[in-house]
Structure 1
Amino acid sequence: MSDVPASRVGWPDPRVVEALERVRAGKPLTYGLTNYIAAPLSANMLLAVGASPAIGGIPLGAAHFATIAGGAWINLAALISDTPELLLETARAANAASTPWVLDPVTVGAGIEATDALAAQLIDLGPAVVRGNASEVVALAGGDGATKGVDSTVSSEAAIPFAKSLAQRTGGVVAVSGPTDYLTDGVELVAVPGGHPYLTQVTGAGCSLGGLVAAFAAVVPDRLQAATAAHAVLATAAERAASRTRGTGSFAVALVDELSLLGVA
């Protein structure tokens, strides 16, 4: 556990509301490398909050999109179809253009040495935000994350010290997803309560959160505030979606609905 008390942030905190308004007004181009399973939901969730998504590892265009985008995210599950070199090239291009980019280290700690090595290379390129489950964050920080496939075996609370250490190392923000999400810039600690267990039962929901964080980082200069707002917006939309659906299938559709309706008079 961390000795830093966490401030709790959620909807309708004025900072969260303002951040969502900025996304809707700015319609930031948000470029992502992710897997083809998560891409449709990621794109729809980005459209629902007002962002303009572009997704896919076009071999001759990835670096270009990372340069012109307002924000970008790289999900290691993109390795299903993209090469490690393409992920690294995209991260370098984003850095060169001062495009804030988000790393989602899916499967890190699951025992795939090549993926863990690539994640370490990407971490050295200084992502603005690292967003993962507790096991992935612990493993990235050098602990024993013991990821079970894409699922965490560690509580988000237990990952707090590792998240703080990793944030200090990268100079960015680290976000740990769980029943309560924890986010830190290495000094300040924020807790985002809420959400719903259905989020863990819909393919691509976690991956899509990386895209939301990138969209918010495109228009909110404070990286911790941007990432916190994205998590709070998703948590609130999930709660509202679950309250009016009977199962995970209808929840996935309602989640996009609620994101599009959040903050709209």
Structure 2
Amino acid sequence: MHAWRFDAIGTRWEIETAAPLGERDRARVRALVSAFDATWSRFRGDSLVSALRSHGGTTRLTPDAAADAAAMLGAYRELSRATDTAVNPLIGAGLEALGYDRDVSLMPGPAQAAPGEWERMLSWDGASLTLAGPGVVDVGALGKGRLVDLISEALAGAPGRVTVDGSGDLRVRAGAARVALEHPYDPTSAIGVVEVADAALCASAVTRRAWGDGLHHVLDGRTGMPVRTWAATWALADDALHADAAATALFFDGGPELADSWGVQWVRMSTDGRAERSAGFPGALFTEPAR
């Protein structure tokens, strides 16, 4: 197998293929990443979502960006309703209030909840994105999964197994890979293992993108505060967008039910070391029995 490693959207990526990727394929991947970042990154002052932050308004979307909006914000609607608005695409201001801002200052101020009525504020159609008032759109709950899917689909013509890994969010096509479920408090050990065959596995943990005294990137939109009950989640689905979304939802009440309704298999570990899994999870856990 051949690996291509690069940095994109603030994290490390690896694409593993049976044969080396040619320059045309690499250019296609770079273009996808660049376009996605230019639309959805709240860390860029020139992105489309950043153009809305101060006063709201309407911004035009390319056809590809409109497809992203339909896929991601449609899933956000389901996430938000299932978790009683705990998962919210306008959580960006809350992340920035705690120091996870454009400059990654990590200097926290008072917590800021996300608007519970976000569905009235944020709307989209086949050509535009509208925000009715100031706000910070953040697609972190599932955006990386969406980009994993886009890259995987762009490489559909590559021969043999293709694995697209965006630092914890991965999709395997035309083959299988055995993946360890990394212990959130000890990266040298695992709490289980699962085979990912023509599917996606996404993980999230409160020990990643963590700073200060108990601060991390998984916030409850209703309070603007980091979650405390669950330490890590893993979700296995046909595509990375739904796996990534479910991995976020599993930090909250309603998450397991949403994952089950989507046909997503999952594992989650609490901050006191207990593990739960869906009844159909195909991997092996070294701790608790099925839920």
Q: TM-score, normalised by structure 1?
A: 0.29
Between the two structures, name the one with larger relative contact order (CA 8 Å, sep ≥ 6).
1
> Which of structures 1 and 2 has the bigger CA Rg?
2
Bigger strand share: 2
Alignment TM-score, normalising by the size of structure 2: 0.27
